[in-house]
Amino acid sequence: MSDDPTKELFGIRGYRERYGVNDRFPERGRAEDEVLAELREMAVAEDNFWQTGRCSGSLYRGNMEHYGFLNRAAALYSHVNALQRDICPSATRFESEIIAMTLDMMHGSAVDGEPCGAVTTGGTDSIMSAVLAHRERARRRSDSRSHQMILPLTAHPAFEKAAHLFGIDVIAAPVDEHTTLVDVDFVREHITPDTILLVGSAGNYPYGTIDPIEQLSDLAVEHDIGLHVDGCLGGFILPWGEALGYEIPTFDFRLPGVTSISADTHKYGYGLKGTSVVLYRDKELREGQYFVSEMWKGGKYFSPGLAGSRPVGLLAATWASMVSLGREGYLELARAIFETSFAMQAEVAKHDALRMMGDPTFCFSFTSDEFDIYHVNDAMRPKGWRFNGQQYPNAIHMCVTGPQTQPGVVDDFGRDLAEAVAYAHSKAGEPAKSSAIYGGMPDESAEAQEFLRQTLVRLIDRMHDL
């Protein structure tokens, strides 16, 4: 057994040695039972890892019975395309009710007018849709093609991707290292006639903290520009935290400057992976994400977003998750997650060498001014912990989800963290093995790097053969 349990399951060479590699189409198909058995073997092994409660984020409900229920709902529609609404009108029901429920959670009733939204394929899709919609609104208002948006350095890279694709300049706003919140004075000073959009997070991915949305809202109203609140991570848990009495600053449509919000149903909405919701303050703004081609030989083409084909199965599963849990279910789950997160933060606070980043709630990040915090990760990883890494400054975070609420996980975290801090002290001044890559901590062993190099060479050779 490896001293790193994640390498035993997910080692970069593991599946190649066990199952081989399909680098060409097989001449003959395999028996369905054989294919399913191979899939089941991999899935069970991987699920066994995160079910320990030692994996940050990634699996938000963490309940296999819930996933089984959603899979049964999705299976009823997995073969259906949302483009064909005439033969699957239930897709319209699922989508409209998902949007309506999310608007209810985000206080859409506070809006004078008709707030609306769309279901997308994920957080990046929601963010890009909102950026596109604001650009199109700016084009309708002015002939200028020079546009900019102001982003906190903690904002998700999806905003940069949208700016790259849609021809928008980005102004990067600094954040305070201790509070982790965007510098509102910087934002104010950098608003120009070309500014079409301000951005704030609730909460941001690196630290889980909530930007001063109310102050950004005031700026948006003053300058008549858009404000997008990225609630992809926290959108489906922070409102329940507020309802439970936790100190959650207002970030939704109750603030008059908020023009759009993104919230991922496949995170704390507890849906299957591949869905998110983008909300708009009015329908005129949403029209900017639509695309119409009237002269195509294949007929008039209408697309409500960046995606064309969309699986109705995911719409059905998301709807099923929301209506099966209801407000009571979401409140119960949120209570357990907040309490667990605060208990884990208390374990961090026991160590003078560790410093919490900002004032977090369900997701917390910590660093050290005495040693490279990645030494803590190096020591925790062989014990089965999978954190997410930040950089500038180096930090690691735990996004608390359902699996961490299991009995014993907080105690294990406290014990293992104490040993990891002692290890980090002993390694002070030495380089750490791990680093920060979005989506997980990389395997930086020489063996892994060499295999990556060989794989790239082989793929390039195959491309030349083609």
d(CA 79, CA 66): 21
Q: What are phi and psi of 388, to 5 degrees?
A: -110, 140
Does the 90-322 domain belong in CATH 3.90.1150.10?
A: no
User: Taking all residues of the chain, what is their mean pLDDT, rounded to a whole number?
Assistant: 91
pTM: 0.90
Among residues 55, 57, 52, the alpha carbon closest in space to that of 362 is found at 57
At what angle are helices 312-349 and 409-426 packed, to 10 degrees?
60
Q: Return the closest-CA partner of residue 127 out of 264, 225, 304, 309.
A: 264
pLDDT for 316-365, tens place per residue?
Answer: 999 999 999 999 999 999 999 999 999 999 999 999 999 999 999 999 99
pLDDT of residue 466: 44
Alpha carbons 290 and 306: distance in angstroms, whole number: 8
CB-based contact 148:159 (threshold 8 Å): no
CA 358/CA 241 separation, integer angstroms: 18
- φ/ψ of residue 147, rounded to 5: -130, 150
Q: What is the pLDDT of residues 10-57, one digit of tens each?
A: 444 678 888 888 989 999 999 999 999 999 999 998 898 899 999 999
User: Please, which pLDDT band fits residue 458 given cuts at 50, 70 and 90?
Assistant: low
pLDDT of 448 reads 45
User: Is 422:357 a contact under the CB 8 Å cutoff?
Assistant: no
For the segment 115-138, what is each residue's pLDDT rounded down to a tens digit?
999 999 999 999 999 999 999 999
pLDDT for 286: 97
pLDDT tens figures, 199-233: 999 999 999 999 999 999 999 999 999 999 999 99
How far apart CA 161 and CA 172 sit, in angstroms, is: 14
Angle at which helices 90-105 and 312-349 pack, to 10 degrees? 30
Encode pLDDT of 166-201 as tens digits.
999 999 999 998 999 999 999 999 999 999 999 999
